[in-house]
Amino acid sequence: MSEQRAGILSIGAYVPERVVTNDDMSKFVDTSDEWIFQRTGIHERRFARDDEYTSDMGIEATKQALKRAELEPTDIDYIIVATASPDNTFPNTACWVQQGLGMGDIPALDISTACAGFVYALELAGALVNTDAYKNVLVIGAEKLSSITNFTDRSSCILFADGAGAAVITKTENRGTVICSRNGARYDYDALNVAAGGCRRPASNETVEKNEHTIALKGRTVYKFAVQKFYEMADEACKRAGISSDDVALVIPHQANVNIIESAMKRAGIGMDRVLINIDRYGNTSSASIPIAFDEALAAGRIKRGDYVLLEAFGGGLSWGYNLVKW
């Protein structure tokens, strides 16, 4: 008798229309297409309109996911939005989504683990579904990073972008099953932070003048940490599931830097032909990058029923996590 377990019923994605190329970036910081592409793998990214917010993008991705699941907004009984660029501190972004889609008075939760947000949200959604506390949990990764990017810092502003992805998590029978997940965090303020806007450093003229409401990062520190974590997580996920890295049909990593991904995958013994890369077109969309890439992999027919798909991410905190999915 097959057991029903939490699985991904459907995925949807949305990216804004406006394409910003590396040449466009070189109009306001001293950089070049060649430098950006060689160091990161990025050619272009998408920026949202001024009047287009994180929740709007999350809603668009959700509409697609719901349509594919043949569900109505009112069939959802819990919303989790992973984001580092929320519409407001409160109401949280999940409340904006709830209101925008007319979902009724269901629980609405934001998760703040930066680029690791989606893998955290998926683990939590799986737990809520597996304990029968909720039936259909909506997980969204959505970001308007262009609103918290320091456009005077050439080593960071070339990375970040906007977009959203959504997934419906429900109990399924051997379909999109989340086999195992693990999340972790280790405090490291200097590696990656947004310094101001919280109670430690409330907004003031000074914080605005110093660009402290935008992302600050120590790229080299994060780079080394990420290579090591991506490798360790791939190794651990396979061991826990009792499979070899050869059995992983596709890795969908957080799209932070193609060179990080290549180094880690080489160490894990996973060829790049089994890794989804779309950073060239979308840049780093933080918690949205995995569901956007997952959606693309499905559309391109790169995942078949029964395939093992490994999702892994790292981000500010520092935080990290993976989900191994049997599609």
Residues with a known catalytic role: 115, 254, 284
Q: What is the 3-state secondary structure (H, E, C) of 139-168?
A: EEEEEEHHHHCCCCCHHHHCCECEEEEEEE
Q: How far is the CB of 247 from ligand COA (least distance, A)?
A: 27
CA distance between the termini of the chain: 19
Q: How far is the CB of 184 from ligand COA (least distance, A)?
A: 15
Closer Cβ to ligand COA, 7 or 283, answer by number: 283
Q: How far is the CB of 160 from ligand COA (least distance, A)?
A: 8
Q: How far apart are CA 154 and CA 147, in angstroms?
A: 16
Q: Which residues of 3-27 are buried (b: 16+ CB within 10 A; e: fewer)?
A: eebbbbbbbbbbbbeeebebeebbe
Q: What is the 3-state secondary structure (H, E, C) of 8-56?
A: EEEEEEECCCEEEEHHHHCCCCCCCHHHHHHHHCCCEEEECCCCCCHHH
Closer Cβ to ligand COA, 220 or 266, answer by number: 220
- Give the footprint of ligand COA on this chain (CB under 6 A): 31, 35-36, 39-40, 115, 154-155, 158-159, 192, 217, 219-220, 222-223, 256-257, 284, 315
Task: Name every residue whose Cβ is closer than 8 Å to that of residue 47 and which is 6 or more positions away in sequence.
Answer: 16, 18, 20, 146, 161, 162
Closer Cβ to ligand COA, 179 or 311, answer by number: 311
Task: Name every residue whose Cβ is closer than 8 Å to that of residue 215 and which is 6 or more positions away in sequence.
Answer: 145, 148, 149, 150, 156, 160, 192, 193, 194, 316
Amino acid at 211: N
Closer Cβ to ligand COA, 155 or 174, answer by number: 155
Q: How far is the CB of 272 from ligand COA (least distance, A)?
A: 17
Closer Cβ to ligand COA, 177 or 284, answer by number: 284
Q: How far is the CB of 285 from ligand COA (least distance, A)?
A: 10
